[in-house]
Amino acid sequence: MFGKLVPVPSGAMIPDRDIGKKPILECVNLGITFGGLKAVEDFNLTIGRTEIAGLIGPNGAGKTTVFNLLTKVYQPTHGTILLGGKDTHGMNTMQVNRAGIARTFQNIRLFQKLSVEDNVKVGMDANMKYNMWSGIFRLPGYWHEEKAAHDRALELLSLFNMADLADVPAGSLPYGAQRRLEIVRALATNPSLLLLDEPAAGMNPSETAELMENIRKIRDTFQIAVLLIEHDMNLVMNICEGICVLNFGRVIAKGSPEDIQSNPAVIEAYLGKKKEA
């Protein structure tokens, strides 16, 4: 399932199969200023319902800042973010997640002392209903929902072949498994858009290949969109349908993998300007 990019009325490009459905994410002139420094400026991006999109650029280009804006870790100073057509203005991180954006972090942020299974269950918390008293007095709601959460957690974990690690403390997992667990935890929140911040960082080629499979599998199983930041160009060019290139906080190119690979501005950003002879 690899879509051809076609334009929507706004002029943005999304995969052909998502035409007719409202794009999951539309950023319009998004920007943030830190003490006079424009970290991200005029950021425009549209992502289709089931698109796998990539956000790339040299170090310090502002990629993670974009994620922080989308998830309201930082409040944008300009522009709007529409999630499934709904403005997320005024929402905080928690509300944005409940509205449908889940993310992973560049520097892994797991709940280190909790077990793998509990990390996933925390992701489901917002969708659980039993209250504190049911928990303390072990009322039927507790047993019922905990059982369901346990089953769902194991189901999600087995997607990534991690079910047998359920009882291990998350902090003691190997690096690659920690990255995978972050993805599972994000999925547990039932997102419609999954943001992955350097999911392949520190992985060897075979782990990366497996990750690529998994990202596709996630999209196909849950019918959600994925936006990923990644330095591994092999991964980006293989699974992303649309790519957005950021440099010094500005978008310098957008398009399909082929467009990006041959774009002179992108080559210049990565390799530097050719010296005059």
Partner 1 sequence: MEFLSYLISGVSLGSVYAIIALGYTMVYGIAKMLNFAHGDIIMVGGYISFCAMSYLGLPGWLATLLAMAVCTVLGIVIEGLAYKPLRSAPSLAVLITAIGVSYFLQNSALLIWKAAPKVYQPVVSGSLTLFGGQLSVPYASVLTMAACLVIMAALTLFISKSKMGKAMRACSEDKGAAQLMGINVNATISTTFAIGSALAAVAGVLLCTSYPTLQPTTGSMPGIKAFTAAVFGGIGSIPGAFLGGLLLGVIEAMAKAYISTNLANSIVFAVLIVVLLVKPAGLLGKYVPEKV
Partner 2 sequence: MKNLHMKKYTRTNLLTYLGVIAAFVVMNMLSASGSLSRSLTGQLVPICCYMSMAVSLNLTVGILGELSLGHAGFMSVGAFSGIVAAMSLQSAIPSAPLRLVIAMAVGAAAAALAGLVVGTPVLRLRGDYLAIVTLAFGEIIKELVNCLLVGYDSKGLHVLFNLSGNKSVADLGLEPGGLAIIKGAQGATGTATIATFTAGFVLVLVTLFVVLNLKHSRAGRAIMALRDNAIAAESVGLNITKYKMMAFVTSAALAGAAGALYGLNFSSLQATKFNFNTSILVLVFVVLGGLGNIWGSLIAAAALTVLPELLRAFSDYRMLVYAVVLILVMLTTNNPTLKSFFGRFKPGKSHGKEAA
Binding-site ranges for partner 2 (CB under 8 A): 71, 73, 92-94, 97-98, 102-103, 105, 109-115, 118-119, 121-123, 125-126, 128, 130, 132, 134-138, 142, 145-146, 149, 169, 185-186, 188-189
Q: How far is residue 62's CA from residue 75's CA, in Å, rounded to a whole number?
A: 15
Q: Which of partner 1, partner 2, none binds 186 (CB below 5-8 Å, type-dependent)?
A: partner 2
Q: How far is residue 78's CA from residue 40's CA, in Å, rounded to a whole number?
A: 10
Q: Is 105 among the residues that bind partner 1 (CB under 8 A)?
A: yes
With residue 99 as reference, give the H or E element that holds it. Answer: helix 93-99
Residue closer to partner 1 (CB basis): 88 or 256: 88
Beta strands in 122-233 (DSSP E): 193-197, 225-229
Site for partner 1 (CB under 8 A): which residue of 50, 68, 97, 104? Answer: 68
- By CB neighbour count within 10 A (0-12 exposed, 13-18 middle, 19+ buried), where does 252 fall? middle
- Is the separation of the CB atoms in 220 and 37 below 8 Å? no
Q: Which of partner 1, partner 2, none binds 64 (CB below 5-8 Å, type-dependent)?
A: partner 1
Residue closer to partner 1 (CB basis): 71 or 119: 71
Amino acid identity of residue 39, one-letter, is A
Q: Which of partner 2, partner 1, none binds 126 (CB below 5-8 Å, type-dependent)?
A: partner 2
Q: How far is the CB of 92 from partner 1 (least distance, A)?
A: 14
Residue closer to partner 1 (CB basis): 68 or 119: 68
Q: Is 97 among the residues that bind partner 1 (CB under 8 A)?
A: no
- Is the separation of the CB atoms in 18 and 51 below 8 Å? yes
Q: How far is residue 236's CA from residue 246's CA, in Å, rounded to a whole number?
A: 14
- Residues within the interface to partner 1 (CB under 8 A): 64, 68, 73, 105
